[in-house]
Each structure stands twice: as C-alpha cells, then as structure tokens.
Amino acid sequence: MANGTATEPQRMTVTRVFDAPRELVWKAWTSQEYAAQWWGPKGFTAPFCEIDFRVGGKYRFCMRSPEGQEYWTGGEYYEIVPHEKIVLSLYPVDAEGNKVDPAVYGIEHEAIEGAHDVVLFEDLGNGKTRLTLIGNETMESAKESGQVEGWNQILEKFADVVAQLLPAGTRS
C-alpha cells in the first residue's frame, strides 16, 4: 500500500503474442507505411497517416468507417526505448491535428489524469513477441466505450501486417 497501487484504477491493458521477432513487430508498429495498413478496427481504413517517430514528435491518423465517417487521432511521443517501449499520448484531433473533445466523435472517454499510453514489446524467445498496450483510461471505462474491442480488432489487423512482413517460408 505504500506505493499507492491499492487505490490506482486498473488501466486498460490489451496484449497479443506474435509469431515474429521483436524487431519486425516494432517495425510494423512504428513505420508510417505499415501503420496505415492496420490503424482502425475491422472494416475501417486509414486514408491518412503521418508519423514523426522521435521523442517530442507527433503523429496524426485518420480512420474511416465503412459508412465514410472519419475519426482523427493524434498524439505525441514522450519516451522511446528502441524495440522495447513507447510512451505516448493518444487523443481525438481534428484534421489539422488540434485536440478536440472526444464527444465530437460520439466517444465517451474517461482518461486517467496524467497517464500516458504505453506500448511494450517483449521478446519471448523462439521468434515470438508479446505486445502490450496500456491505455490512459480504466479497464472498466475502456470496456464500456468499446476501446478494448476496438484495440483487439486493430491487433488482428496488425497481426496480418506482421505476418506479411515475415520472410517467405517462415509464415505460419
């Protein structure tokens, strides 16, 4: 209890194991070219993807629903440990990258004050990598808002991109 964890809410956490080396999973996550292929839940496309991947750099994505509705997301990178960890902000923006209230997109989002999103890349050996996404909202809120389901769908698309990057003969 001295560290305060007993009172901290459980943060949204989504994990997936990939049959791919950590360097390849990192490349698929951090490359603008590949991110445009997996950003957004099932059925969504990413017609715009801009990444300035460096500490202090910003990114901006547009995801388009099957019905044509556009949702813009942006953020900033705060910490990058190559092949291991990314700490970033993630929030709704307009097409120019200006932060907007999540309600603009019909989203209820209860961010944890001062919390950033964290993406961890863990080498499990034998060519396997665990990716863990820790969000800036509570698990309860993320389940209610559909964020957990959305991230699981995104990671399905991400798995397809990772599989395409594997050298021929190593794909399962």
* Spatial separation of the C-alpha atoms in residues 106 and 85, rounded to whole Å: 30
Q: Which domain holds residue 47?
A: 11-165
What pLDDT is attached to residue 1?
42
* Spatial separation of the C-alpha atoms in residues 130 and 133, rounded to whole Å: 10
How many domains would you assign to the chain? 1
Q: Compute the Cα dihedral for 27, 107, 13, 43 and give only its sign.
A: negative
Residue 35 identity (one-letter amino acid): A
Q: What is the CA radius of gyration of the chain?
A: 16
Contact call for residues 112 and 11 (beta carbons, < 8 A) = yes
Contact call for residues 3 and 93 (beta carbons, < 8 A) = no
Contact call for residues 79 and 86 (beta carbons, < 8 A) = yes
* In the block, residue with structure tokens 């490349």: 27
- Residue 6 forms part of a structural domain: no
Give me the tens of pLDDT residue by residue for the chain, a chain 172 residues long.
445 455 667 999 999 999 999 999 999 999 999 999 999 999 999 999 999 999 999 999 999 999 999 999 999 999 999 999 999 999 889 999 998 887 778 776 667 677 799 999 999 999 999 999 999 989 998 998 888 999 999 999 999 999 999 987 665 5
Spatial CA neighbour of 49 closest among 90, 162, 39: 39
What pLDDT is attached to residue 170?
66
The domain that holds 25 is classified in CATH as 3.30.530.20
- Residue 4 forms part of a structural domain: no
- Residue 31 forms part of a structural domain: yes
- Residue 170 forms part of a structural domain: no
* Spatial separation of the C-alpha atoms in residues 50 and 53, rounded to whole Å: 9
What pLDDT is attached to residue 2?
47
Q: Per DSSP, which regions of 52-116 are E strands?
A: 58-64, 70-81, 85-88, 91-92
- Residue 59 forms part of a structural domain: yes
* Spatial separation of the C-alpha atoms in residues 51 and 34, rounded to whole Å: 11
What pLDDT is attached to residue 9?
73
- Residue 3 forms part of a structural domain: no
Contact call for residues 44 and 63 (beta carbons, < 8 A) = yes
